[in-house]
Amino acid sequence: MIVLKNINKTYRMGENEVRALRDVSLNIGQGEFIAIIGPSGSGKSTLMHTLGLLDRPDSGQYFLNGQEVNKLSDNDWALLRNKHIGFVFQQFHLLPRMSALENVTLPLIYGGNARLKDMAHQRLSDVGLANRENHNPNELSGGQQQRVAIARSLINDPLIILADEPTGNLDSKSKNEIMGLFKALNEKGKTIIIVTHEPEIAAQTKRVITMRDGQVVSDQTQGKDSSSSAIESAHKEETVLEEARSSMKFLDYARQAVFAMVSHKMRAFLSILGILIGVAAVIAMIALGRGAQESIEKQLSSLGSNLLMVRPGSSQFGGVSLGTGAYTRFTFQDINAIGKLDKVDAVCPSVQGRAQLVYSSKNWSTQVEGGSSAYEKVRAATPIAGRFFTEEEVVKRAKVALLGTTVVTQLFGDEDPVGKVIKINLNNFKVIGVLPSHGASAGGFRDQDDTVLVPITTAMYRLLGKQYIDTIYVEAKSADAVDAAQQDVQDAITKQHHLSVKDAQDAFQIRNMSDIKQALESSTKTMGMLLGAIAAISLLVGGIGIMNIMLVSVTERTREIGLRKALGANNKDIMTQFLIESVIMSLIGGVLGILFGVGISLLITLAAGWAVKISVSACLIATIFSLLVGLIFGLWPAHQASKLNPIEALRYE
């Protein structure tokens, strides 16, 4: 079954070379029970590692069932280890946080048979541990742990069982029990190869190979040869390599990844924390940026569409400004002149001032603004309750008022204000409506909802004592007509006040709200991108944290990786498993980060009163990004883990 021809293996330790195997040639038949003995450093363990496809020889030929295997790929070797070779190690190499049953099941995962749990139950029962299968290794005696290792070696019904000092750490009773198990297995047709330095153990086998200085110095048969036809018929003839390996189950890898995370809670927590903070920052920053954008858009909507704002300028005398309105004063004649322009759809005069409001026992100081009936259209001020005042009420200087939402809250609380009578500067006014909410001003210093709107004539002649108009709002017929309307308004006012072109530059100002809107939107967009970039950097830092911790994990789990490879895991299996672990941690961090980010956003709203808007798309993008971070930053540690040499990994301290 096994033929070795002139096998050599040399290890380099710094500048020194150690020849572990020197031209070793062996023939091993199916069903043999062999002991390989020799002093420390004789090469017996290296020979076992070579037989078990854990280590490649430097030269020579290795034939298994007639096929040369030392030239096959690492993946083919992993398949052979999984299907045809069972390992029993001196140190048992049981994963400490797995139960006996889970340890025995490990080779099934890499053989694509992880669902065959009944087989694992049977193997534990065969070695007398049916009642201990749910116990962890630290709850088992040394002999019981070795029994678990033997059950694990049998799980895929291998052709060969290799045992490296299987009784070295056991007491006399346990040694006899383990050797009894090996004898029983050999009688059932298993090929058993034991590496030992104990003559009494070797004496219980049927063939003893003695090693010294890397060479076979003795090969003796003891008792009757077990290679009978009955033993040979215990195995059906099978090819060494399968055409295709059984498909690996993603769910099995995910279970192993979750197990690794649960087994190292603090390490997993730190990895998840980095992604959590990054995703939470993304959610909170985007929510803050979009909230600010929405708030600005809401404020801009209060200006109306296609809007021009005309305000008096100020002249100078001797370099000293005479103040706004000192040179040009707007009157209703200006309103009439502007209203006749072809490009103008609507025009609205406005005056502002302060006033004291009283209702019942409550009073409130607020801004009073006067406007015409066109104010509703020009300033997008359709009442959310009640109605707007009519042109007839403007002409009659009616004492009617519309209140901003802040004023309603301060004077009426939850009471409906429509139809109630309030005092404005000691004058009785009937509340006929409630204005829509516009929030804080663009500068953030004034609440636009803290206002009272009355007919402009009432404001000028009954409340504020003004003779002139403070501001003229002009709405162009379309967005394309804004620039033309601006020029027409400028010409009309210049003509109305008999101004020269030079004087007109200082006499009044026309502000195009679309320009202001574009500037604000551009600033908001830039701020949003800046906040998003800062949040993305946080997520990137979290990804680097995952990579660092996963690299540490590779170091900490080197022996575990070596064990998994010895049990049949190939490079792709190990890499996939580490990648899944990284992605799962990133996904958990992403989901928790979304919840945390939403919580932070709500906290910002409650504590600071800032507007935030939580976006579903932002949550989705952050989650996808966190998965990509886990995938990308987990790739290098996974690659490092997959490239570990199995025998070097098993020896790692």
357 Rama sector, left if φ>0, alpha if ψ -120 to 50, beta otherwise: beta
Q: Quick: pLDDT tens for 128-164.
A: 888 888 898 888 888 888 888 888 888 888 888 998 8
Q: Quick: pLDDT tens for 106-125.
A: 887 777 665 566 788 888 88
Q: Is 392 exposed, middle or buried (0-12, 13-18, 19+ CB in 10 A)?
A: exposed
Cα 650 to Cα 308: distance, rounded to the nearest angstrom: 79
Is the model's pLDDT at 325 over the cut of 80?
Answer: no
Confidence band, pLDDT 50/70/90 cuts, at residue 241: very low
pLDDT at residue 320 in the model: 46
Residue type, 1: M
Cα 356 to Cα 369: distance, rounded to the nearest angstrom: 13
Bigger pLDDT: 402 vs 501: 402
pLDDT at residue 228 in the model: 41
For the chain, the first-to-last Cα distance in angstroms comes to 34
pTM given for the model: 0.57
- Domains of the chain, CATH where assigned: 2-245 (3.40.50.300), 261-298+519-651 (no CATH), 329-498 (no CATH)
Mean pLDDT throughout 412-433? Answer: 94
Task: State both tokens at 561.
Answer: 């990786």
Out of 272-281, 290-299, 330-339, pick the least confident. Answer: 290-299
By the 8 A CB rule, do 514 and 542 touch?
no
Cα 140 to Cα 516: distance, rounded to the nearest angstrom: 77
Q: Quick: pLDDT tens for 495-546.
A: 888 888 777 777 888 888 766 666 766 777 777 777 777 767 777 777 777 7
Out of 166-170, 219-223, 247-251, 466-470, pick the least confident. Answer: 247-251
Task: State both tokens at 1.
Answer: 């079954």
By the 8 A CB rule, do 161 and 154 touch?
yes
Bigger pLDDT: 211 vs 301: 211
Q: Quick: pLDDT tens for 351-383.
A: 999 999 999 999 999 999 999 999 998 888 899
Q: What is the mean pLDDT of the chain?
A: 81
Q: Quick: pLDDT tens for 261-294.
A: 777 788 788 878 877 887 887 788 778 777 777 7
CA-nearest of 321, 118, 277, 230 to 626 is 277
Task: State both tokens at 22.
Answer: 């020197």
Task: State both tokens at 492.
Answer: 């009309």
Strands 427-434 vs 316-317: parallel, antiparallel or unpaired: unpaired
Query: CA-CA distances (angstroms) from residue 413 to 402, 426, 427, 434?
Result: 16, 21, 22, 13
Cα 423 to Cα 418: distance, rounded to the nearest angstrom: 14
Mean pLDDT throughout 583-591? Answer: 85
Q: Is 532 exposed, middle or buried (0-12, 13-18, 19+ CB in 10 A)?
A: middle
Q: Is 449 helix (H, G, I), strand (E, B) or coil?
A: coil
Q: Is 528 helix (H, G, I), strand (E, B) or coil?
A: helix
Bigger pLDDT: 338 vs 618: 338
How many CB atoms lie under 10 A from the CB of residue 68? 13
By the 8 A CB rule, do 191 and 222 touch?
no
Cα 125 to Cα 275: distance, rounded to the nearest angstrom: 44
Cα 200 to Cα 175: distance, rounded to the nearest angstrom: 10
Is the model's pLDDT at 304 over the cut of 80?
Answer: no
Task: State both tokens at 390.
Answer: 């009519």
Helix (H) or strand (E) holding 433: strand 427-434
Bigger pLDDT: 388 vs 301: 388
- Say what percent of the chain tops pLDDT 70: 87
